[in-house]
Amino acid sequence: MASDNKLSSLSKDDLFLLMESYRNMIQMYTTLSEQQRQIMESEKVIIQKIDALVTKQIMTCDKLDHIVDVFETYVKTVIELNKKSLESIDEVKTSIESLKIENIKSHSSLTNKIYIALIGSVTIIATLLNIIF
């Protein structure tokens, strides 16, 4: 009965204010609900953009993986060619050294022959000079 007394003691203006307060609360909850719906739609768009970005990143990673494979193949080829080149250089170096040794031997032999020829010529000239004088 105490609550009946309180309700009966409320005036028409008080009831109007109470109903206005309820209406404002309903409008506020409706606004909040609409804002949450808009936020959820924005989140969906963001998730779609993130998904598209992830897809692009996966494609980029696949392309980079392919580039790494191709680069690795090129590097292996270059290394093999360098090894062959070094082997060829070693063979040329060995050939040059053997030719140098042969050149030195033939030069020594030629020098010895020139000395022998010079000594022989000097001996003949000296003998001829002795005969003449």
pLDDT of residue 1: 47
In a domain, 51, yes or no: yes
pLDDT of residue 7: 54
As a whole number, mean pLDDT of residues 1-27 equals: 80
25-81 pLDDT per residue, tens = 999 999 999 999 999 999 999 999 999 999 999 999 999 999 999 999 999 999 999
Secondary element (H or E) of residue 116: helix 12-132
What's the pTM value of the predicted model, to 2 decimals? 0.48
Name the percent of the chain lying above pLDDT 70: 94
Instruction: Using alpha carbons, list the distances in angstroms from residue 68 to 59, 71, 77, 82, 124.
Output: 14, 5, 14, 21, 82
CA 121 from centre of chain: 77
Residue bearing the bigger pLDDT, 132 or 29 = 29
SS3 for 61? helix
Domain that holds residue 104: 12-132
In a domain, 5, yes or no: no
51-65 pLDDT per residue, tens = 999 999 999 999 999
Residues 6+ apart with CB under 8 A from 18: 10
pLDDT of residue 97: 84
Domains held by the chain: number: 1
Asked if the model's pLDDT at residue 107 lies above 80, the reply is no
Distance in angstroms (rounded) separating the CA atoms of residues 117 and 95? 32
In a domain, 1, yes or no: no
